[in-house]
Chain A
Amino acid sequence: MKRRDFFKIVTTSGAAAAVAGCQQSAERILPLVVPNEQIVPGVAAWFSTVCRECPAGCGVIARNREGRVVKLEGNPDHPVNRGALCLRGQAALQGAYHPDRFAGPQQRQGGALRAVSWDEALKLVAGKIGELRQAGRSKAVALVTQLENGSLAVLMDRWTQALGTRPRVSLEPFGYEAIRAANRIVFNRDAIPHYAFEEAEVILSLGADFIETWLSNVSYARAFKRMHGFREGRAGTFIHVEPRQSLTAANADEWVRNAPGTEGLLALAILRAMIDEGLADRRFSEAVAGIDVKKVAEESGVSAETIKHIATLFGRARPGLAVGGGVAVTGTNATPTLVAINLLNAATGAPGRTIRFGPDSAYGKVTPYGEVAQLVQAMAKGEIDVLLVGPRTNPAFTLPGGLKFADAARKVGLVVSFANQPDETTALAHLVLPDTHWLETWGDYAPREGVIGLMQPTMSPVRDALPMGDVLLRAARAVLGTEEGKGPLPWASFEQYLKTAWEPLLRGQLDGWQAALQQGGVWRETPPAPVTAKIGAVQASRPKLDGDPGGLVLLAYPSFRFYDGRAAGAAWLQEAPDTMTQAVWEAWVEIARETATKLGIAQGDVVRVSSPHGAIELPAYVSASLHPSAVAIPIGHRYAPYHARYVAGSPTPMNPVALLPAGADPASGAAAYLGVRVTLTKTGTRRPLAILQATHDQDDRELAQHVDLSTAREQALRGKPKEHEFLSMYPPQHYPGYRWGMTIDVDQCVGCQACVVACQAENNVPVVGKAQAAYGRQQHWLRIERWAEGRPERPLNVFLPMLCQHCEVAPCEPVCPVFAAYRTEEGLNGQVYNRCVGTRYCGNNCPYHVRRFNWYDQEFPAPLDVQLNPDVTVRQLGVMEKCTMCIQRIVAGKDRARDEKRSVRDGDILTACQQTCPTQAITFGNLKDDQSEVSKLAHSPRAYHVLEELGTRPSVTYLKKVTRGHA
């Protein structure tokens, strides 16, 4: 008997036994009782709405299958994000399907939250407010919500007026108040303008992390790459000043490491140098009268040559754009710092061109932190009896530890939270009235003047929930004793109010409401308003820091994965690595190598970080690039209860905000995130981080390649000299129909991880948890590698999205004993799950390490399983999987084309990663069509294949990063 026959017998008889052994289960199929006209089972319906994961307000279209949303995409028509979404937007679905979502209203009884009915809950709230009202103490009612500026905001303000409560507080932990204050001082506008990154020749960022969380990260990352990307033909320059090598810093042509808190001084020194070199008007001399470049150089740790070099670059830019005010650099000197930055902008002619007042950002309506602090103080004094905390607002987590919010909240008679999942604030609440998720609700939000996004329910609520607007209306009517249709708040529901409010906006338009719903809102161009700069002396100094004067400055910076922590419930985000450290799940404290050596701390050692306001214990991440006087901890890391299945042990606090003082920048009322020095002590225990990339050193493998600007320009003009071609023993493949291929422009990639999460959402990629991830068993089909070249303390970073290369001569295929990995006629490497027997030979043989094995039957805890894409198989234990280039989208694209009796056109099919990419680094299409975008890019002089010398002939072509005289 031959070996083959043995396998045949065993597998066949095994299959027969499997068929015979299990009884055919009786499966029911249920028809609809009354058909829904908008839903055809099996066909996706799309609904447009607005992403409310942060105040940027990107447009979203939600893909609804059989009544449940399974995927979110950016709204291509929306002026803010133009079809792209960041990773938090992609992961918002996991908030809607959060396994810990409250099943309905809850009341605290005997220390624990127990279910109550809506009527009971509402009676309790209305009763308490009514009591206070009768006692003439309406001002003891406080309403705190996230930033709202649409109909809900108006309704809530009417509500506070009708009931005579305290004015509403719009709490945004990252409020950028200092930018407003500085604009008031210099440009006489209390607003945050629209920054036209794409119009700038040189961008100078003094701590503005605009690729991560700053104001509107999708919009600005996109605009930045239009100015900076070689592909767009405009290779502008970007200089970033920050004590820590953030993701934004890693994207800079020059990252300048300064001492914490010296951004203002540096801005003035740069202005001084510009004046000295005749690159700025003499009028500005007044502002920089006392500034000595050498002294600033000494204080900031940035050499005088560097300051002059920046001044020359920035001074010659017509126009340039200087941005600042990132959360991590906001200290008690934030306003003077931003005034100095404004002067730089005025000197380069930015106002009206790269800085546009008029299309002002929604952030202008945030209640300054100083006023929030006053409310907390009032609570602590017992002046507040009812505190209503809106959804997605978690003051117990986001307010500085020095403010002692939890203690103050305990003095409040009735704390009501509208959160729909448990958090630190619901732990203090007496009553939880779960709000609908933003995917389930009506609403509107204007991210900037002239752009009003309209929200509609994209599905019915996953759990019993009521829109906050409805609850407020019902409670108010109960307090005031009025009926529906009468009184100051006559609307039956928030939906009705919204539609009434939109009527004047759409007057005279045929089907205006339908059109607005379909488009996702209404928008018009808002012309920039002219502003003049007021030049005056600036008192830029270093920020006041609390704590041990001999300690290290704490850099608490917003995590681009979790924002202020509101997104942290999504397991996808916990497992999408932080691009710079490649760490997943747990938070870490980034310690400079010098400090670590001095204190004898190794990576993974648990370190106690203490300030006068608190202490947290985190594993250490030793960094070669961090400023030696600082330690850095990301803000936003927290676990949801259901994460217990992914992280062993009981969770410990990971929140650096708990270490911060209550103080604020006096001029603007901004919270002083750069406000404390901390001390480090070794705890003696170890908790190694789960880091997905073992090394950032390419070891001369030339995986991520780059070319300098002048060579790139020359090659773009004259073509690339012919290189040695690799000989192959394999005949070229014949493609009868399409040949699918992809290009990835490494120069466009900013490493934001949006594609990673989009892929996970689209392709039912499971989450494995910290221990498995640390073991290298993460299931991502697509990852972003960070490769660092040059000096480790100031490297050149190249981000390389790595996925199945769909090789023409694929090493994975010939080693598969069962023909599960095979080459399709359209240029893909197919992977047939039902054929795969799990030998893992293919994974071993893949030089790109992109194949993933299912070591377990992965679970999707309910109701997260409802999110699964019905067009993609959920893989089982023992099966190998990998990127399919979104084969389900290719099949759907071909199906659409056949319906229209044509062939697939360029741009018909977008892969999930390509669709969400803010900088359009990824292009997919038919390589056989010479006119397709992907073909053109694949023949660019910058094109190369990763590990080309192996002769795999990949279908994925990379375009080299273009460097601009990097040090």
Chain B
Amino acid sequence: MAKRFNIRMAGVGGQGVVTGSHILSTAVIQAGGESTIVPFYGSEKRMAPVESYVRVSDEPIYEIGEITFPHIIIIFHPQVITHGKSYTMPFYFGLKEDGIALINNDGPMSLHKDQARELEERRAKLYYFPATKLSLEVSGMDLCTNMALMGCIGAITGLTTVEALEQSVKDRFLGKGFVVSGGTAALDSVVERKFKKKQELIDKNVAVIQAGWNYAVDHGWAAPTVKRSEARATVGA
């Protein structure tokens, strides 16, 4: 049977939700799979809700449009849940039975009892993953939160590799004619100045991806075939 994951990512402006979904999607294709993305912007501004939809599979994908019934939900920011910063409310709306909610938070959140019950009824697996904390520890900044999450989800789906994710990051930052919105382009240049050199930027992103990947493996979330990424992913020129 085909391995197929429809992934809904919800976060807030500035976190790189769409960038993250591009990197995951490209990495799955790099690894020989199939993937499509649909970004959903409202008003593009910092801390405003952003959603992005990624389909990954090992077979052709024909489906188009937003994902209403995802297999996996990724919550980039706890405020998506606590402040309702989302186009989809409650955050798990449409999650399939036995689905996964990967939530960026330092530990389990206390959900409203109705929400906890509904999640339990559909046998949802709640993975609380300290992506921002991990990003700070590994790269010294919180801007790699999306990379931590993409590393983690890469391992959970088992449809890509750390090496493919690294190549995807390189494509994204070393340029392959990637079309980004004006706002995202401006943010990119700020990030680049902060790191001075692109190489350093890529190194740190990849290190965070690897840390996220291994976190998923260590916690038993990863797909059965997925192994820890031990070798420090080599960063070429």
Are the chains A and B members of one assembly? no
Binding site for A on B (CB under 8 A): none
